[in-house]
Structures are given as C-alpha cells and as structure tokens.
Amino acid sequence: MATSVRLGTAAKVPLLGLGTWKSPPGKVEAAVMAAIDTGYRHFDCAYVYQNEKEIGEGIQKKIKEGVVKRDDLFIVSKLWCTFHDKPLVKEACQKTLTDLKLDYLDLYLIHWPLGLKAGEELLPTDDKGMSISSNTDILQTWEAMEDLVDAGLVKAIGISNFNHEQIERILNKPGLKYKPANNQIESHPYLSQEKLINYCQSKGITVTAYCPLGRPDRDKPENRSLLDDPKIKEIAAKHNKTPAQVLLRFQIQRNVIVIPKSVTPQRIVENFKVFDFELTKEEMATLLSLNRNWRICEMNMCKNHKEYPFNAEY
C-alpha cells in the first residue's frame, strides 16, 4: 500500500505528516519527538505558527540520538503574507531555517495568495478590523521563491490556499522556472474540494489537506463535529477503526497528503495507523456525499483583499 506520493520529478512526500498549527511551544517539541519515534517522517510547519524553534529542537534531539538522519525527513514550512515583497522572501526563509536548525527545507509554500503590509504585525488590520494589503504581485513573489531553489535553501516550492485561477496565473507566467509542486488546502468530507483537487492533480501538482479532521478543538454546538457524524462513525465501526482514522484514510485514498495535528502521544500513534485498511468505493462515495462546502479557515479579515481566494467556485 502506497505510503508516499511523488513530488515533481525528484522527491517523495510521505502521505501522512504531523501538522503543527495551534501546537503550543511548550508541547510541540515532545510531540515531534513522539512522532519521529512512531515513524512519522513528514513535518508541516509555518513561520506564523510561532513554534518553529521548538520543532527544530525536537528534530535535532532525534538526529543526535541517531533515530533519524536529516535525509530521512521531509520538512515543510510556509512564507507568511507580510513577506511577499520580493526582497523579504529570502530573509523569511532564512529565519525559518535558523529556527528549525536546518540547512534546507524539502518544501516551502506561499501560505496564502494575499500579500499583507510588511512589518512586525502578522495580521495588519485597519480601524475596521480588515486586512491591509501590501499591493505585491504574486508573480513577483513566485520569482523570489524560485530563487530560493536556485540558492539551495529549498528543494521544492509550492502554494497554499490558492484557487484554480490563481494557480493558472502562476502556470501561465512568462519565463516560469519551476511550477508549484504542491497546493495545501483545507479539506475534509464537509469541504471535499473535488474540483480543485482534480484540477491540481491534472496539472501534476500534489495536494495536501489541512484540517482533515475538521477542528475538534473549536466545534461550536451548531457545527456538528466530523468525528461525531453518524455516517463516519458507521464506516469506522465496520473497519474497527476510529472516525479520525477513517477521515485520514479518505484523503490518502484520493492520493492527497494529510497532516493531522496532535500533541497527544496516543493520538499521534493512532493517526499513523491508516495504512492497514482500505475504504470501499461505496464508503468513499458516502464520504464525498457529505460535502456542504463548510469552511473552517475563512480568513474573514481578508475578505476585502483583491486576492481573497474563496470567492471563486474552486
């Protein structure tokens, strides 16, 4: 059973990685070490999560212990929106590399297609609470990303939260050197993203699903948790698996990379046990039928931004 997917021509990405969004600095180092001990080799990070130093510590400890070598790992990070100005891209990447204590990243993504005003603030907003744009052009930012590959700081580059029109702009860019290797998007059965995933895969762009389990940490009573959905629970019971394992397997069978976040050792282990069962065609169809275009990460304060990605159909 496949446990990885090809990224462009060279690398292979493990289909399952550890997500680190909302992982508190005090807990993420231990989580990374537990994950490496469990068998995880793919770690998804980002500057804006403000925990890359601790992730770096965990990785270094395991390398020193001889449990893994750097080459065994696939490390991803993301360029934050306030660094879209061409001269700032390299600086942002180098900060991430320093924090993670690495010489290179396996994959570096533009976190959102929106450039925000440069400065200390991660989310610069006006007096109405709406985002302040940097008026940068994504094609210029992409050129700076390409330079990182040529400088040996990153092995591959990609995007995140881009709609198909924004991807098309990059693919059609005159003088394009490297096309995006990956698009990381929110996906789960309530936001199945079939059109966008099919589009990306048809262009040779791999897809990573974030929030694959919904957001168990912030479900309001009116937002029924995916993990409590009766249809998902029924499928899980049939396979003697947990609803979380079914949700991860759902993406893996679509050839979509998946990055569940956890800092609980027991869950980190549980989430890894998804390669020993297979969902039937009918079960996959049932899961796809739950789609209701329900988005968790709406980035509402950027709805005023000309590059806000979620107004397009896909």
Return the number of other C-beta atoms located less than 10 Å from residue 242's C-beta.
19
Q: Cα separation of 265 and 253, whole Å?
A: 25
Question: Catalytic residue at 190?
Answer: no
Token pair of 28, please? 């993420």
Name, in order, each residue with C-beta under 8 angstroms of 185's C-beta and a sequence gap of 6 or more: 160, 161, 162, 193, 196, 197, 207, 208, 209, 210
Active-site residue, from 40, 47, 49, 190 = 49
Q: Cα separation of 122 and 108, whole Å?
A: 18
Measure Cα distances from 82 to 93, 123, 140, 173, 249 in Å. Answer: 13, 8, 14, 23, 35
Token pair of 38, please? 């469990």
Instruction: Please count the residues of the chain.
Output: 314
Catalytic residue set: 49
